[in-house]
Structures are given as C-alpha cells and as structure tokens.
Structure 1
Amino acid sequence: MEPVAIKRKNNLMLFLLIIFLFTAISFGATNAAFMVTQNIYHGVTVEGVPVGGLTIQEAERRLRTHFGERLKHPLIELVYENNKWEITASQIDFSIDTASLARKAYQVGRRGGILQRLRERYLAIYHSYTLPLEISYNHEKLQAVVTKIAKEVNRDAQNASLAQHKGGVTITPEIIGLKVNVAQTVADIVSKMNRSLPVRSELAVEKVVPPILAQDLVAIDGIIAAYTTQFDPRDENRTQNIQLAAKSINGVLVRPGQVFSFNAHVGPRLAENGYREAPVFVDGRLSTDWGGGVCQVSSTLYNAVLLADLGIEERTAHFRPPGYVPLGQDATVADNQLDFKFRNTTANNIYLTTEVTGNQLTVYIFGKRMPNSPEIRIITADKQILEPKTVIKQDPTLEMGKEVIESEGQKGYQVTTYRIKLRNGQEIAREFLASDEYNPVDRLIRVGTKTSPKEPSK
C-alpha cells in the first residue's frame, strides 16, 4: 500500500477515535448529571408534552393542565365520505391518569438493570424518550355511541327489479347496501387513542351487494307466461296467507339450470311470520291450519311454470282437488314435507312477479321471448270418476230403523295430465306430466238400533 494511502487511513481512524471519545465523555458527563438529579431526566416526554427537568408533582400539574384543555374539545372525530360525527370525553367517561404518567416519567433511566438504565438515558439524551398515554374509558358507552352513528349510515341493499311497461319492461337498478362494522370501528378508535389525542378515524363501512343486479335483468324483454286464480277476499285469514306467500316469491330471479324451491322462499307458515289459521284439507277432510291458502299460490305458480315450458322437479297433488285450478293442475305444499320445485331450463334468466288485487292472484314469469316459440297448452286425459262408498254406522241413540245421512260423500277422480306444444295449430310435442288420483270421500249413514221398551202385559 502506498504511504500516502496509509497516512490517510490512519488519519481517518484517528478522527473517528476522537469523535468516539468526545461522545463517550459527553455521554459520561451527562449520565453523571443524571445520577445526581432528583427530577425527571431531560428528554422525557408524554405524548409530545415535555416533562424533563420537572419534579413528579410539577410534571403531573403540567400534564393535567395540558390534557384538561384538550378534553374540553371533541375527543374523537369519526368521518365517512362527507359526513363527520364528534364524540366528547364525557360521552364515554374518558380520563387520563396523569399522576401515574408523572411517576413513570420519573422512573425512566432509573428502573431495571444497568443496561436498561443506560439505554433509556441514552435515548432521552439523543432521541427523546416518549411515554404512551394511560387512558381510561367506558368501552360499552363507546360502542353504544358508534352503534348509534352506524344507524345513520347503515342502508339495506335492494335488488334490481323489473316491471312490465307498455309491452316491454323497465328495470330499476339495485341499491348497494352499507353496513358499519362497529367492532372494527371501535378497535381503530381505541388503537389511535392509545397513541395520541384527539382522534380522527374513518368509519369501517362494508358494502353489501344484493343478489340481483340490473345486469342480471338486461336480457329479459317481456312476459313468457302468466296464470291467474281467484279467491274469496271475504275470508280475511286465507287472503292474508295468500298475500304473504305471494310476496315471498315476488321479485325472485332464477338463473339457467337453477332449481327454485317454493318452501325455501316462502319459509315456515307460522304465526310469528304473520300467517293465520284458515281452512285446509287434512287427510281429505276440511279443517283449519296455519297458512291455509298458501297452496293456492304454489298451484298458481305451477301453472305459470307449465305455460313457460320450464322443467318440473317436484310436485304433489292434493288429497282432494281444489276448486281454483283445473283437475290435475294443482301443487300442494307443506312445511318440511311437501315442496314444489322447478328448474329454469332456458338459456336465460327468468324473473318471477306476483300480483294480488281484488279476488285475483296472478303469477307472471318474465324472460327472454324467443321468436317462433310454440304455443303451450295443458290438457287432461283418461279422466275417471271414483264413486264414494257407502258406510253404514249403527247408532244406539236413534230409533230402530231410522236413518240419518251424516255425510253425503264426495266423488274421487283419476286423471292424467299432459303438456302439449302447438305450432300453427298443429301438435308438435306431447309431454306426460302426472297421473293423479283424488280419493273419494265415503258416504256415511247412521242407522238407529234403539228399541222401545215393551209394555207390561195386562
């Protein structure tokens, strides 16, 4: 190595050694000063408030004054978009333990082993030593305040919807829902409160996308099938049940290949869901039960589905034929037992709507109208009448030989149903749907067996 380079290297090392010695002497002198002072070491701060050189009592007074002024103003500012909400210290019972902070400030550089004390003194001298706040607040009150604010922001998501309009359809776009994550918002506030005051924090808002978007409806251009049945609006309980069930399937989108379940959309027919007791057939006899009338909605839907040429996945006939649809075209349902299901066998989305006006229930099926679609008809064949049996029942309360007709009985039926397709009036396809049997109700006659007491012989 050249002598000049060696000389430069030695000079550099000597320079660094001098700097180190001066630093060590300076730190040693300062550290010695630390050792004799009874005040808080210089360089110690509490959340930006310098307390170095003060006694514990002086530090507590300074902190109490400083934070007391701060707490006169709003403690927390929550923001979301162009809105803001302020939370004061009194609303959440917020306080700062200034006495404890002053004591801990005094302990900086005096606690722990020699290495810890030297490290804390070094940091205080050259970088400042900052103590975190010691806060107290009512977590339940903070959560309650945030929950109240959340109610102003929360917004239910709404599906895009579709309605008929002048031979076509109109689409109402979806509404994206908003849901404030209260737990996350509170956690963010607490994290910031522990570091500095006042706090400015964003509401943790989650967007809720509804199941049906406007883009799901753009290919739908009209009604592909509809069916109407009638009911007696004077029967208020049954009418209420029909309205509730119809509302449950109103605005439902069924995608290609998807199976629609009536029970899944309508839910249990219980009083807590608004359903009432109304006449129903149970084991062939007229009775009352919760949700009476719901089967009229499922049967009306079944006929609309048949006319839309959709696939039937599950369908059960009533024990007795109802009067609101033709024989063999009913679909009964029962909670957790019998369901009506169909599959969207088209290449496009379909959309269900219902309408209850006056004494009529109508189910509409919207979809993509295809040119040259065949005409759909539902027909019955092989209809047979099943005569009721006559059952004689002895009655010891009636006079001997006297007859009373307790029940006239009802005829039963056997019927086969087909879905046929017509083009230009000519049948081009025939699909078997079901063979249903509606059992007859026996004719019941009570015959008296009571005998008159014999008169005593004279």
Structure 2
Amino acid sequence: MQTVTSKNANILFFLLIIMLFSSVSMIAANTAFLVKNEIYHGVTVGDIHVGGLSIMQAQEKIATTFKERTAKTPVITAVYQNQKWTISAQDIDLSIQAKQLAQQAYDIGRTGNIIHRLKERYLAVNQGHKLPLTVQYNQEKIQSIFANIANSINQEPQNARIKLAKNFEIVPEIVGHKVDLAKTLALALDNLNTKITFTFTIPVDDFIPSVVASDLAEIDGVIASYITHFDPWDQNRMQNVILAARSVNGLLVKAGEVFSFNDVVGLRLPQFGYKKAPGYINGVLVPDWGGGVCQVSSTLYNAVLLADLSIEERTAHFHPPGYVPLGQDATVADNQLDFKFKNTLTQNIYITSEVSGSRLTINIWGKQIKKQPEIYIVSADKKILEPNTIIQQDQQLELGKEIVEDEGQRGVQVSTYRIKKVDGQIVKQELLGTDEFPPVDRIIRVGAKIPVQQPKPKNSTNL
C-alpha cells in the first residue's frame, strides 16, 4: 500500500501539471489576442457594437451610425402626460468624437499589467464591455430648452373656491405642477452618454392646494355677514384695508380649527405694500404702518359673532373706533395683539371679503340649516367715565390767564352680549366682555408769571 506521503506527492504532481497546462493555455490565448489588430468581441460604444473591428472600421461605424440616427430622428424626446417635446442634434450642437471612442474601444484589454488585461479580455468576450458615448453638446442650449419646457408645465396650485354668478357654484381646485429641473437635466445627460436617441419622462412634482372641492361640498350659502364703512379719500388707509381684506378672502376654516388674524394677514410692513395711516400707539393717534387694518379685524369679528362661532382672543382699542358700535371692535398689532376664533360648527366655513367704494363687506359661508338661530349683539350696562381736569402752572403765561390745552374726552365702560334666539325665544345669552375706554383728561394751563414792577421816577427840581 502507498503511504499517505506518497499520495500527497502524487496529488501535488498532478496539480503542477494542471497549472502548467493552464499557464501555457493563457499565454497561447494572450499571444493569439495580441496578433489580432481588432477590438475584442463584446466591446460596445453606447449601443454600437464594435467588437471584431479595426480602429478605422470602428471609427467609421460610430460616425456613420451617429449621423444616420441624428439626421432625421430627434435625439431627445421628452414626455409628460399627453405632451411631447423633441430636441434635435442641431438644437444642442450635439457631436461625437468617433476617432477617440474607437481608440478607447481598441484599448480594452491592452492596457495595464497582464492580469488586468486578461481580466478585461475575458469579461469583454463573456459578459460584454460598454463604453459611454461621451458626446459633446452646448450646455447653455440644453439648459435653456428644458427651462422653457419646465415653464410650459409649471402650474401654481389654485384653491377650490366659491363663485358667485347667477347661481352659487363651487369651482374645483387646480393641482400645481413643478418640473424637477435638476433631475430632468441629469436624466437627459445620463441617457446621452449611453444612447444616441432616446425617450424619457420628465419628472414633475404635484402640489395639492390647501382647499379642495370636497372641503366646500357641504357649504351652500351665507350664514353671517357684516358691513363697515371707511373714508375712501384717505388713500393710505384704504390701501391697508384692501390688502388685509384680500388676505382673508377665499379662506377656509375647517371644523374645529382656530383662525389667527395675524398668522393669516402677516406683518403689516412696507415691503408687503402697507402704508402709513393713523393708528393708536400707547393711546396716542399717530401715523403707523398698516393703520386701518383693525377695521378688517373688527368687521370679521362681528361676522364671526353673527355666525355663532367661539371667540378665542380679542382685545378692544384704547379708544373706541367709529366704524363699529361701542364694544364691538377687535384691535390687532404685529406680534402683540391678535384676533382669534374657533370654528365650533360641525362643518367647514368659508370667508369672503369685498371692498367696494367706501364699504367693506365680510361674509361667512357655511351649511344653512332649518330654523337658523337669530343672533343679536347688544350693549348694556353702559357707564360714562368723566375726565379729570388737570391744572398746569405755566411760568411763561401771564398770571391769571387760562388756556385750555386739551378739551378732554369722556370715557365709557360697556358690557357686550351675544343673544341667541330660536322661534323668537332667547335660548342663550353670552357675555362677550366688558370694555373700558378711559377718559382723556381735560388740561388747562394757568398763567403763573408775576409781572415785573417798574421803579417809580424821582422828582427833579430846576435850578
């Protein structure tokens, strides 16, 4: 019997023989490859097969194929839904370096060390080796073309809305579209490096508007409305009223949602179109940015009261304004005072506003119900607050003289109630608040200047 050692020696001997034959075979194969002045089989440039061709043949095939495909056929076909845009080679100055690509194809399996070359040859023959087309094009032209395509597709979302024509009508929403331009260009250029002609779908993002037709489905009419008037000759104040009214126009407040006037209208600053107009700051009437916006918040406040919604935050003015009854105003100030209400109904409501002539109208739309409660806003417990008279000594005014510096103004304290009636019977009485508008003191300046006595003249004697 053979020993274990002799068996191992035999196995080793056979392995050496196998390795020797393999090496000889590899060398022979390599020698065979080298003697051929052709591109190795399996090599393609883009989708153009150039295996088995010489450099000159490959160059001619690449150039001819490129010319044939781009002569009458669009290079790029971009598609979005049922729209289609075609781009020709001439549109983007498209060209190809056929000679350079043929050389690159020929170099496959002929560069690097022996192991690397053999590996490239083996993979090319058995699995294929694809070179990118590496075309040249005008970057500015292709970007401009796709920018124009994007502009034709892009669409701002539009909310569903209520249209008042002959009949009540709900206009459906418009879904917004925006082309992902960076992704579109990347897809187009990636394809250009692998195919001479191709079709691809433009990536577009869709944007659903905040108000859709289903949000308005249960709304069938106006459930509350309020009107105030202003001076149309005060152009700055009118501009501020128009801007603020426009912000609340076409606004949906869903059931259970809290509305914030400051959040919706935003800051009343000149960069947003607001002008300086009279407004109270620390109790003094002075020109201020956005003066007059409080008329919009107060008009909305009264419409909300009549719609029987819940008031979450409301502040009275320092002095009562003349455009709403006493105790029915709602002042606002950037980042300080807000007007908020909650939609306590079981259905959504929709707010519209209109400025016409000297009139501001705010409507609240909702679902009309049978036996709609009657809502009344009344003032009670009115109390007049008399001003104080302030006497100020004036050292520059002659003694005994009086000048009324400020006539002063009476103040008032008032309680406001919301009363709900059904079939003529009061079913609820709600105290909305007690407002106190302080009086303005009467100021009188009293002279305190003591007149200077003139010296008496001396008697004189003529000599």
Alignment of 1:393-408 (within 5 A): 393-408=392-407
Instruction: Give the Cα–Cα distance (whole angstroms) in 2 for the partners of residues 115 and 127 of structure 1.
Output: 17
Contact 1:155 1:179 in 2 (8 A): yes
3-state DSSP of counterpart to 2:285: strand
Aligned to 1:145: 145
Provide the secondary structure at the position in 1 that maps to 2:147: helix
Deviates more, 1:32-41 or 1:383-392: 32-41
Q: How does 1:22-101 map to 2 (within 5 A)?
A: 32-56=31-55, 59-60=58-59, 62-64=61-63, 66-67=65-66, 70=69, 74-89=74-89, 94-101=94-101
> For 2:128 and 2:342, how far apart are their aligned partners in 1?
72
RMSD, matched Cα: 2.7
Q: For residues 60-209 of structure 1, what are the structure 2 equivalents within 5 Å?
A: 60=59, 62-64=61-63, 66-67=65-66, 70=69, 74-89=74-89, 94-125=94-125, 128-137=128-137, 142-164=142-164, 169-209=168-208
Check the 8 A contact 1:31/1:121 in 2, yes or no: no
The answer to whether the 8 A contact 1:244-1:275 is kept is: yes
Q: Is 1:274 the counterpart of 2:238 in the alignment?
A: no
Q: Distance in 2 between matches of 1:231 and 1:34?
A: 95
Contact 2:47 2:194 in 1 (8 A): no
CA distance in 1, matches of 2:298, 2:343: 17
Q: TM-score, normalised to structure 2's length?
A: 0.86
**Separation in 1, partners of 2:59, 2:424:** 99
Counterpart Cα distance in 1 of 2:417 and 2:119: 92
Say whether residues 1:296 and 2:295 are aligned partners.
Answer: yes
Stretch deviating more after TM superposition (365-374 or 251-260)? 365-374
Tell me by how many angstroms 1:231 deviates: 0.5
* Equivalent residue, structure 2, for 1:360: 359
Consecutive unaligned residues in structure 2, runs of 5 or more = 1-23, 458-463
- Residue 129 of structure 1 and its aligned partner are, at CA, apart by 3.6
Aligned equivalents of 1:274 and 1:324: distance in 2?
Answer: 23
- Does residue 396 of structure 2 align to residue 414 of structure 1? no
Q: Hey, what does 1:316 align to over in structure 2?
A: 315
| Cα separation, partners in 2 of 1:451 and 1:99, compared to 1, 3 Å | farther
User: What is the Cα deviation at residue 218 of structure 1?
Assistant: 1.6
8 A Cα contact 1:284 1:441, kept in partner = no
Q: How far apart in 1 are the matches of 2:162 and 2:294? A: 25
Q: Check the 8 A contact 2:46/2:193 in 1, yes or no.
A: no
Instruction: State the distance in 2 between where 1:396 and 1:140 align.
Output: 80
Taking a change above 3 Å as real, the CA distance of residues 63 and 108 of structure 1, as seen in their structure-2 partners, is same
- Secondary structure of 1:104's aligned partner: helix
Q: CA deviation at 1:260?
A: 0.6
* Structure 1 residues 93 and 320: CA distance shift in structure 2, 3 A: farther
The code of the aligned residue for 1:101 comes to L
Q: Which runs of 5+ in 1 are unaligned?
A: 1-24
In the alignment, the residues of structure 2 paired with residue 369 and residue 258 of structure 1 have an alpha-carbon distance, to the nearest angstrom, of 19
Distance (whole Å) between structure 2 residues aligned to residue 136 and residue 438 of structure 1 = 77
CA distance in 2, matches of 1:175, 1:195: 38
The alignment-based identity, stated in percent, is 54
